[in-house]
Structures are given as structure tokens and as C-alpha cells.
């Protein structure tokens, strides 16, 4: 079981006066906190604005938007419990794991609430393994089912976030011992060495999956694999509060400066959103995508957190009466035809209390085969599938109640951003000046100002609000009219790194709070697949290729004297 361990340092009290010891002198308070200086404004200390910042060096604190609202902190604390503990098959209140899953808890992917850690192997039980597998077709073609696919599209035979664990007797869609991670070294045009002799390392993961590791029918072909690591989840509610009209203005600004923008997001000819930039939410309304590296989700309530508690653990709720399973039904077909699966269900599935009972049917091989194939292949929330699901897989009701889900979303939307640190230090001030002069803010936009924060509400939150007589648009933490400092433009750019992210387009990752990563998670790995172990490595990967959108900016960093390079790093660690 994964737990959060809070390490609280307490001074050792000296009870005797005859041992010639004295109590340690307390460190002076940072009297500069929250005060403007010649480089930083007063508000820059508050990275998440007045409603979204904690002054503690923590990724886990509730935002003032939570603590200032009567009764909300209790819900936040309950939601935190869902994040920090494992789900199981049948133990309340975190029941319903599976039948296949990616991880058995949220914190398994977000160690210390932060960025996932660099790993040498893929094992869902390894603490801090925030890696998600990205299995896709590198070129266009037709799969074994005769279905045409485009280049860079996800394979249909496993879920978008592939599952590597399953309940007995089912076999995981991908067997973990068939997943291989090798770390290779790249050399840039500078030979991985600054002019003053300081060296750096550029390493990257090469990932393969044996075709035999897939428990699917048919087996996928023409596929490649990449890794994407989870990022820190603090401040997600603040990003959700950024208005899409302000995002549009940012896109237009960058387009006017000649930036190459993802045509899947931006129609250069129309100088407006591309059709595929709009995400259709569960109620049919549409909003602009802003979450994940690939910009695949538009709302926190229909994206990170809301989706993850369902598709990572496969735990259903009132608005998700279906399983997270593959589009092709390939796993269901393989399990339904596996003699070992059928035999086990025949021997263990008669009892009405057994999790295998829904698959038992009349106990014959054909009946079990039919029911396994049917019940493991309900990926759509159609009325017909809802009826099948409710009659067979939900004899005891929803696995996550509307109230429990509400608590989780109060927690997720209510996580504060840690305040900036050391903004009064001379090297940090120097680092900010250089960061701006090098042009890094063209992508790492320093600040945004939220508007009314009219968040979208899903049906589970609506159901909870109705049961308590509340307005669903007032029950979650809100961040109206806040100046926040995430250091991201919420736009995708290309760095052209070796073994790059799928499609090559990657959303600019927020920098706020990242300087606390080592302290909070015992790791400081950066970039989408943890290929950079340090800030310097992350910066130099930005300039690995002359095609990179950040190449010129990286060369300016390369040409700085060491003292200035250290200052840039100190600034990034401070914000």
C-alpha cells in the first residue's frame, strides 16, 4: 500500500545545562516573502494567485479557495484519502478495481503528488513509476481486422493507457515481463560539453514490447512504443480556470510571430482553432483542449482526475457504467477463448458472491465464452450496454458513489501551488533576467489572469449537488480573477529529440513548483519521459536538434558563463 509520509523535523530539546550545549539558533524568517524587489513583483511570490497558493513547500496542501469556504476542507481531506490509498476488488470505500487496470492507486503514478520518476523497467508495483505506455502505429496502414489507421494513431487492440494488470483468472492485456526499457545516450553538436569544460549527459529511453506479451486477439502489428510520465497534479484547477478565449489570443500571438503550431490545434489559414481542437464533453458541449502532453482533454472534470479514477483503476460510478477497455474488443476475445480462463471460471464462478459469477452463465464452455466476450467488451455508455452492465456487473451498485467522487474532485481541483521561493536572492534575480533575455518566455509564458472560472460540471457532480440541494457550479473550488504564474503558454511545440514523444508535438509543461521535486518526491527527473535528470539536461535537450523550436534559445544558454547558467537554474528551481 502506498502512503504519504510527512517528514516533520522537530528540534531536540536539551534538558540539562551541565553538558555545555545550547539550543540551536533558529534560522531567520524570510522577511522578504511577498515583497517586491528590483526584479520580482510582490504577486510573483504567489504562483497560484491569492486563492491558489500555499506558503508551505508542499504539493499536497489545500488552496485558500478550499480553506476559505465553509465545510469544503473536510471534503478535500476525504478526497485526499482516495488519492493516497489503493483500490481493491471488493473492500469499501475503494472497491471495484479491474477487471484490468493500469495502477491500483493514484499516488502510484504521482509520487509525492509530483512528477513520475525515471525507471529502468516497467512494473506497476514499483514506487514512483509514473510511466504510461504509448503504443501506436508509426505509419499508416490497415490492421488485422481490416480497419485502416493513420500514422501516429494509437493501436486499437489495447486501451489508450495500456493495462498491464488484471484480476485472476484474466490475463493482463500486456504482460509486464515483455516490456523492455533501455537507456541510451545521445551526443549533441557540442559533444555534451560546455566551453568551460563542464559536461552534461543526454540520455533517452528506448522501449519495446514483445508481440507475444499482448494477450489480445488479434495481436497488434506495425507498432512502436514511447513512455509518457505523469506530471505534478497541484494547480490543475488553476489551469482549468484559464479561459479559452485567452488561450486563443496566445495562439494568435505566437502565429503572428511565425511560430509553427500544431495543425491539429490551429488552422493557420483561418487564424482560428482547428476543428479537432474542440473536445466534446460528456454532455455534448465543446471546449478547447488544454490538458495532457498531447492536448487530449478540455476540462478537469472530464479529463485528469475525473477520467483517471475511472480508467486507471477501472472503477465505475453513476456516469461511467461501462469498462475502460480496448476499442477492438481484442482483449475480451482473447480471454473468452483462453482454456485456462474458461476452466477457472467453471471451477470458481458458481457462487453469487464471486466476482466471477457474472461470467459463469450456465457453466458450459460456450456460455462462459459468450459472457466473457460480452462483459469485457462494453466500452461505450450506450443505453443497451448500460443495461447489460447494470444487470451483470453492478449487483451491488456503483463502485464509487457520487459523494466519494465529489470529494475526490474537491481535492483535485483544490490542490494549491507552492509559493515561489528565494526571489530576493541575487542569483535568482539574475536568473530571471537571463531567462527573459534568452527568449524562454516565448513558450514558458510567465503569467495568466483567470476570468470568472465557469468550470464545466459532469453528471456525477450534478447528481451530488442535487442530493444536497446545492448549485453544481458553486460546489467545487473556484479561482476567479487570479493572476497566476505557471510558466506555460498551453501550446504544443516540437523539440525534435531522438525517440521523441508520439507525433512530436508536446504541450509546454508548467514550471511552477518543480524546484521542490527532489524534496517532495526524492527525484528531479524532467521532460515527458524523465530523460533529463537535471534542469541543465532538460534545457540542453531543447537544443539537441537544429529543427527544435527552442534551438536558438538553448544556444544562448550554452554560451553563458557557468555562473549565469547556475543563475538560470536557480531561477527555475525558485519559481
**Domain positions in the chain:** 42-313+401-574, 318-398
Q: Using 50, 70 and 90 to split pLDDT, how confident is the model at 385?
A: confident
Q: Is the pLDDT of residue 329 over 50?
A: yes
Q: Which DSSP state fits 291?
A: B
Q: Using 50, 70 and 90 to split pLDDT, how confident is the model at 445?
A: very high
- What pLDDT is recorded for position 1? 30
Q: Is the pLDDT of residue 381 over 80?
A: no
Q: Specify which residues 185 forms β-bridges with.
A: 203
Please enumerate in sequence order all residues whose Cβ is within 8 A of that of 320, keeping only pairs 6 or more positions apart, or say none.
310, 381
Q: Using 50, 70 and 90 to split pLDDT, how confident is the model at 382?
A: confident
- What pLDDT is recorded for position 25? 46
pLDDT, mean over the chain: 92
Q: Specify which residues 280 forms β-bridges with.
A: 286
Percent of the chain clearing pLDDT 70 (strictly above): 94
Please enumerate in sequence order all residues whose Cβ is within 8 A of that of 372, keeping only pairs 6 or more positions apart, or say none.
332, 335, 336, 341, 342, 345, 359
Write out the H or E segment, with its range, that includes residue 78.
helix 72-84
Separation CA 535–CA 521 (nearest Å): 16
Given CA atoms 564, 566, 568, 574 in this order, what sign does their dihedral have?
A: negative
Q: Is the pLDDT of residue 151 over 80?
A: yes
- What pLDDT is recorded for position 383? 86
Please enumerate in sequence order all residues whose Cβ is within 8 A of that of 557, keeping only pairs 6 or more positions apart, or say none.
438, 539, 540, 543, 565, 568
Measured CA angle at 558 (ends 556, 560), to 5 deg: 75
Q: Is the pLDDT of residue 208 over 90?
A: yes
The model's pLDDT over 470-520, given as tens digits with 9 standing for 90+, comes to 999 999 999 999 999 999 999 999 999 999 999 999 999 999 999 999 999
Nearest in space to 222 (alpha carbons), one of 157, 171, 271, 280: 157
Separation CA 238–CA 507 (nearest Å): 16
Yes or no: say if 406 and 306 are a contact pair by the CB < 8 Å rule: no
Q: Using 50, 70 and 90 to split pLDDT, how confident is the model at 181?
A: very high
220 backbone dihedrals φ, ψ, rounded to 5°: -75, 155
The model's pLDDT over 184-196, given as tens digits with 9 standing for 90+, comes to 999 999 999 999 9
Nearest in space to 173 (alpha carbons), one of 294, 31, 338: 338
Yes or no: say if 3 and 85 are a contact pair by the CB < 8 Å rule: yes
- Dihedral (Cα; 340, 342, 343, 345), 10-degree rounding: 120
Q: Which DSSP state fits 27?
A: P
Separation CA 337–CA 178 (nearest Å): 21
C-alpha cell at 149: 489507421
Q: Using 50, 70 and 90 to split pLDDT, how confident is the model at 396?
A: low
Yes or no: say if 325 and 331 are a contact pair by the CB < 8 Å rule: yes
Q: Is the pLDDT of residue 249 over 70?
A: yes
C-alpha cell at 85: 490509498
Query: In whole angstroms, what separates CA 144 from the centre of its chain?
Result: 31
Q: Is the pLDDT of residue 149 over 90?
A: yes
Q: Is the pLDDT of residue 30 over 90?
A: no
Range with lowest mean pLDDT among 10-24, 83-97, 342-356, 513-527: 10-24
Nearest in space to 66 (alpha carbons), one of 440, 412, 364: 412
- What pLDDT is recorded for position 16? 30
- What pLDDT is recorded for position 476? 98
Tally Cβ neighbours within 10 Å of residue 264: 16
Separation CA 121–CA 129 (nearest Å): 9
Q: Per DSSP, which regions of 18-145 are E strands?
A: 53-54, 100-101, 131-136, 141-142
- What pLDDT is recorded for position 398? 87
- Dihedral (Cα; 45, 48, 54, 57), 10-degree rounding: -70
C-alpha cell at 263: 495543425
Q: Is the pLDDT of residue 135 over 90?
A: yes
The model's pLDDT over 5-22, given as tens digits with 9 standing for 90+, comes to 233 333 322 233 333 334
Range with lowest mean pLDDT among 115-129, 296-310, 480-494: 296-310
Q: What integer is the mean pLDDT of 231-243?
A: 96
Q: Using 50, 70 and 90 to split pLDDT, how confident is the model at 121?
A: very high
Q: Is the pLDDT of residue 47 over 80?
A: yes
- What pLDDT is recorded for position 394? 81
Q: Is the pLDDT of residue 28 over 60?
A: no
Yes or no: say if 415 and 235 are a contact pair by the CB < 8 Å rule: yes
Peptide bond into 189 cis (omega under 30): no
Yes or no: say if 405 and 464 are a contact pair by the CB < 8 Å rule: yes
- What pLDDT is recorded for position 20? 34
Q: How many helices (H) and strands (E) does the chain have?
A: 17, 18
Yes or no: say if 115 and 234 are a contact pair by the CB < 8 Å rule: no
Q: What integer is the mean pLDDT of 297-305?
A: 89
C-alpha cell at 133: 505506455
pTM (two decimals) = 0.92
Q: Specify which residues 272 forms β-bridges with.
A: 267
Percent of the chain clearing pLDDT 90 (strictly above): 84
Yes or no: say if 138 and 224 are a contact pair by the CB < 8 Å rule: yes
Amino acid at each position: 500500500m502506498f502512503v504519504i509520509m510527512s517528514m516533520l523535523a522537530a528540534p531536540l530539546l536539551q534538558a540539562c545545562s551541565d553538558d555545555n550545549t545550547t539550543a540551536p539558533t533558529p534560522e531567520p524568517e524570510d522577511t522578504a516573502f511577498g515583497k517586491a524587489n528590483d526584479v520580482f513583483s510582490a504577486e510573483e511570490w504567489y504562483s497560484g494567485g491569492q486563492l491558489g497558493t500555499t506558503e508551505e513547500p508542499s504539493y499536497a496542501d489545500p488552496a485558500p479557495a478550499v480553506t476559505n469556504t465553509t465545510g469544503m476542507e473536510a471534503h478535500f481531506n476525504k478526497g485526499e484519502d482516495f488519492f493516497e490509498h489503493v483500490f481493491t476488488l471488493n473492500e469499501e470505500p475503494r472497491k471495484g478495481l479491474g477487471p484490468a487496470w493500469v495502477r491500483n492507486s493514484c499516488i502510484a503514478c504521482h509520487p509525492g503528488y509530483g512528477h513520475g520518476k525515471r525507471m529502468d523497467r516497467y512494473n506497476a508495483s514499483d514506487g514512483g513509476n509514473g510511466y504510461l505506455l504509448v503504443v501506436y502505429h508509426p505509419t499508416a496502414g490497415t490492421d488485422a481486422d481490416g480497419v485502416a489507421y493513420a500514422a501516429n494513431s494509437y493501436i486499437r487492440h489495447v486501451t489508450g493507457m495500456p493495462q498491464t494488470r488484471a484480476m485472476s483468472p484474466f490475463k493482463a492485456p500486456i504482460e509486464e515481463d515483455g516490456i523492455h526499457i533501455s537507456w541510451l545516450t545521445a551526443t549533441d553538436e557540442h559533444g555534451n560539453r560546455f566551453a568551460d569544460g563542464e559536461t552534461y549527459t543526454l540520455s533517452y529511453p528506448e522501449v519495446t514490447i514483445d508481440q507475444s506479451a499482448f494477450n489480445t486477439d488479434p495481436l497488434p502489428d506495425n507498432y512502436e512504443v514511447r513512455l509518457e510520465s505523469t506530471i505534478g497534479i497541484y494547480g490543475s484547477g488553476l489551469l482549468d480556470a484559464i479561459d479559452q478565449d485567452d488561450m486563443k489570443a496566445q495562439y494568435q500571438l505566437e502565429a503572428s510571430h511565425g511560430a509553427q503550431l500544431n495543425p491539429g490545434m490551429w488552422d493557420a489559414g483561418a487564424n482560428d482553432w482547428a476543428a479537432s481542437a474542440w473536445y466534446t464533453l460528456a454532455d455534448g458541449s465543446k471546449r478547447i483542449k488544454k490538458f495532457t502532453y498531447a492536448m487530449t482533454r478540455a476540462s478537469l472534470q472530464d479529463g485528469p482526475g475525473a477520467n483517471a479514477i475511472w480508467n486507471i483503476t477501472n472503477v465505475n460510478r453513476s456516469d461511467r457504467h461501462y469498462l475502460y477497455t480496448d476499442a477492438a474488443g481484442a482483449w475480451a476475445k482473447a480471454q473468452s477463448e483462453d482454456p485456462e480462463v474458461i476452466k477457472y471460471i467453471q471451477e470458481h464462478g458458481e457462487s453469487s458472491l464471486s466476482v466471477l459469477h457474472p461470467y459463469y452463465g450456465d457453466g458450459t464452455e460456450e456460455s462462459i465464452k459468450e459472457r466473457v466476450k460480452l462483459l469485457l467488451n462494453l466500452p461505450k455508455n450506450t443505453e443497451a450496454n448500460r443495461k447489460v452492465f447494470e444487470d451483470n456487473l453492478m449487483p451491488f451498485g456503483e463502485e464509487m458513489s457520487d459523494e466519494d467522487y465529489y470529494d475526490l474532485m474537491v481535492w483535485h481541483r483544490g490542490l494549491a501551488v507552492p509559493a515561489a521561493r528565494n526571489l530576493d536572492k541575487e542569483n535568482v534575480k539574475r536568473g530571471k533576467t537571463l531567462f527573459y533575455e534568452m527568449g524562454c518566455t516565448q513558450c514558458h509564458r510567465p503569467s495568466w489572469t483567470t476570468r470568472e472560472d465557469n468550470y464545466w460540471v459532469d453528471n456525477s457532480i450534478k447528481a451530488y449537488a442535487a442530493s444536497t440541494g446545492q448549485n453544481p457550479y458553486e460546489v467545487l473550488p473556484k479561482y476567479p480573477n487570479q493572476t497566476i504564474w505557471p510558466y506555460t503558454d498551453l501550446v504544443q511545440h516540437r523539440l525534435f529529440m531522438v525517440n521523441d514523444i508520439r507525433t512530436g508535438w508536446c504541450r509546454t509543461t508548467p514550471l511552477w513548483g518543480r524546484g521542490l521535486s527532489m524534496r517532495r518526491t526524492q527525484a528531479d527527473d524532467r521532460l515527458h519521459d524523465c530523460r533529463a535528470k537535471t534542469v541543465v539536461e532538460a534545457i540542453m535537450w531543447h537544443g539537441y536538434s537544429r529543427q527544435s523550436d527552442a534551438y536558438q534559445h538553448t544556444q544562448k544558454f550554452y554560451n553563458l558563463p557557468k555562473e549565469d547558467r547556475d543563475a538560470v537554474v536557480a531561477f527555475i528551481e525558485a519559481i
